[in-house]
């Protein structure tokens, strides 16, 4: 017979030996076996509850995964009201920002890259005919991002992926409980490109560094998408001045350790005019972490939109949107000067967290044949901005 740990809580007293409880004796398993009545068993196993939200949050995840689309469809007479309801539900499930757009087939991937949950193989064609894309953003912690590059910033980045997975699963389940098909597109299982869809849904604009820039959160948003045929009204793209800021700022290009972000003008990539990122050199740059970090966030934190939520940041962004485009450079340049003066070209925060310390230290390269001691990335000199004599982008190796 197990003995109790020697402790003396005030709200109950241990007076004798205790037996271990069989989990099967607890209420939920007994209800699942029908021992508390068929009505209670049905409420847990079936769609006994009338409300879709109640069915979504009350059932176990193992039960929800096995459910398909509810055959009883909720009638949608007002797509605008339903869109507002979906946005509120998305925030309730954990999203910081949400927008809705039509699903542009140009941003649906043509073939799968990974094994699917239903037996799909890499290379299989993707058929996704949903009408709408609900775009979700999950903000990372400002301070832990600013501790880049380190195990601290990498942990914050990676946990964001895990948070988005459960949130999108719950939102898709909620929609299916209303009788409409819905599919999640989050970490490890994207069938769509979330960045252009998020731009179309009004979550922000595309920056020089190739990522979405949100008005309040900058680029520290993890993006996920839920596609569906649920009737919804869509949002419109926004102009918050990113185009004008990125033309003159170039902090991300100056601080990128792998020269993956261009200084020059936009280029045409796959029929789209945008700043062309050297994705390969960016990804290979992770090797320079030397087991100190797994994700480089320097361009994210050097972006002038990466700020704490504050009234003055909101006010500055609001004013930029109100100024005519032709006059914006006269407003932006003093703001960038102040940004450099207060936060610097490469904002960085020393942090000690959960036993980790991101204090700079020399790193001895373990690549065979190399004996150099590389300077930590956050302390490398800034790249010089080339004179605007050509449209070529400055790209380099690793």
pLDDT digits (tens, 9 = 90+) for 12-36: 888 888 889 999 999 988 988 888 8
* Domain shared by 152 and 257, yes or no: no
256 and 221 part of one domain: no
Does residue 224 share a domain with residue 273? no
Domain end residue (candidates: 228, 258, 284): 228
Question: Is residue 60 included in any domain, yes or no?
Answer: no
Q: Are residues 87 and 130 in the same domain?
A: yes
pLDDT, residue 49, reads 63
What's the pLDDT band for 86 if we cut at 50, 70, 90?
A: very high
The answer on 218 and 86 residing in a single domain is yes
Q: Is residue 43 part of a domain?
A: no
The answer on 355 and 295 residing in a single domain is: yes
Does a structural domain hold residue 33?
no
The residue range of the domain holding 372 is 245-379
Tens digits of residue pLDDT in 377-389: 445 556 666 665 5
Q: Judge if 139 and 250 occupy the same domain.
A: no
In a shared domain, residues 85 and 211: yes
Q: Are residues 180 and 90 in the same domain?
A: yes
Residue 143 lies in a domain: yes
- Does the residue 389 lie in any domain? no
Q: Specify the pTM.
A: 0.85
Count the domains in the chain. Answer: 2
Lowest mean pLDDT among 48-62, 220-234, 332-346: 48-62
274 and 310 fall within a common domain = yes
Confidence band of 365 (pLDDT split at 50, 70, 90): low
**Residue, of 59 and 342, whose pLDDT is higher:** 342
Is the pLDDT score of 47 beyond 90?
A: no
Last residue within a domain, chosen from 195, 228, 261 = 228
- What pLDDT, on the 0 to 100 scale, is given for residue 158? 92
In a domain, 27, yes or no: no
pLDDT digits (tens, 9 = 90+) for 311-363: 888 899 999 999 999 999 999 999 999 988 888 888 888 999 999 888 877 65
pLDDT digits over 156-193, tens only? 999 999 999 999 999 999 999 999 999 999 987 899 99
Q: Where a domain ends, among 228, 261, 283?
A: 228
Residues 95 and 199 in one domain: yes
Asked if 113 and 122 count as a contact pair (C-beta separation under 8 A), the reply is yes
Residue 17 lies in a domain: no
Quote the CA–CA distance of 340 and 347 in Å, as a whole number: 9
Alpha carbon of residue 155 to chain centroid: 14
Same domain, 222 and 357: no
Q: Is residue 337 part of a domain?
A: yes
**Residue 46 confidence class, pLDDT cut points 50, 70, 90:** low
95-140 per-position pLDDT tens digit: 999 999 999 999 999 999 887 777 788 899 999 999 999 999 999 9
């Amino acid at each position: 017979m197990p003995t109790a740990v020697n402790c003396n809580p005030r709200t109950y007293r241990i007076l004798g030996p205790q037996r271990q409880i069989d989990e099967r004796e607890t209420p939920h398993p007994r209800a699942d076996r029908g021992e508390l009545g068929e009505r209670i068993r049905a409420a847990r196993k079936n769609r006994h509850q009338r409300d879709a939200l109640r069915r979504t949050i009350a059932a176990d995840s193992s039960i929800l995964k096995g459910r398909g689309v509810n055959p009883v469809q909720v009638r949608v007479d007002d797509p605008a009201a339903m869109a507002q309801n979906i946005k509120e539900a998305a925030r309730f499930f954990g999203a910081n920002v949400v927008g809705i757009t039509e699903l542009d087939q140009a941003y649906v991937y043509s073939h799968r890259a990974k094994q699917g949950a239903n037996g799909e193989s890499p290379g299989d064609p993707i058929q996704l005919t949903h009408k709408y894309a609900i775009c979700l953003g999950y903000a990372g912690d400002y301070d832990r991002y600013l501790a880049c590059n380190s195990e601290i910033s990498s942990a914050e980045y990676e946990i964001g992926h895990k948070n988005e997975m459960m949130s999108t699963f719950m939102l898709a389940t909620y929609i299916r409980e209303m009788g409409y098909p819905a599919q999640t597109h989050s970490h490890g299982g994207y069938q769509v490109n979330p960045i252009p869809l998020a731009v179309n849904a009004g979550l922000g604009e595309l920056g020089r560094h190739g990522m979405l820039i949100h008005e309040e959160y900058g680029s520290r948003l993890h993006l996920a998408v839920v596609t569906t045929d649920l009737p919804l009204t869509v949002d419109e793209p926004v102009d918050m001045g990113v185009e004008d800021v990125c033309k003159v700022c170039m902090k991300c290009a100056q601080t990128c350790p792998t020269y993956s972000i261009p200084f020059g003008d936009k280029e045409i990539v796959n029929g789209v005019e945008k700043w062309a990122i050297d994705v390969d050199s960016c990804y290979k740059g992770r090797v320079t972490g030397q087991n100190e970090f797994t994700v480089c966030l320097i361009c994210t934190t050097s972006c002038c939109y990466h700020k704490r939520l504050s009234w003055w940041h909101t006010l500055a962004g609001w004013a930029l949107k109100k100024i005519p485009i032709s006059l914006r450079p006269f407003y932006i340049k003093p703001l960038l000067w102040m940004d450099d003066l207060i936060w610097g070209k490469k904002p960085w925060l020393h942090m000690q967290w959960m036993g980790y310390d991101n204090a700079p230290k020399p790193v001895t390269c373990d690549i065979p044949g190399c004996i150099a001691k590389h300077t930590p990335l956050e302390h490398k000199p800034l790249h010089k901005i080339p004179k605007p004599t050509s449209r070529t982008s400055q790209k380099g190796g690793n």
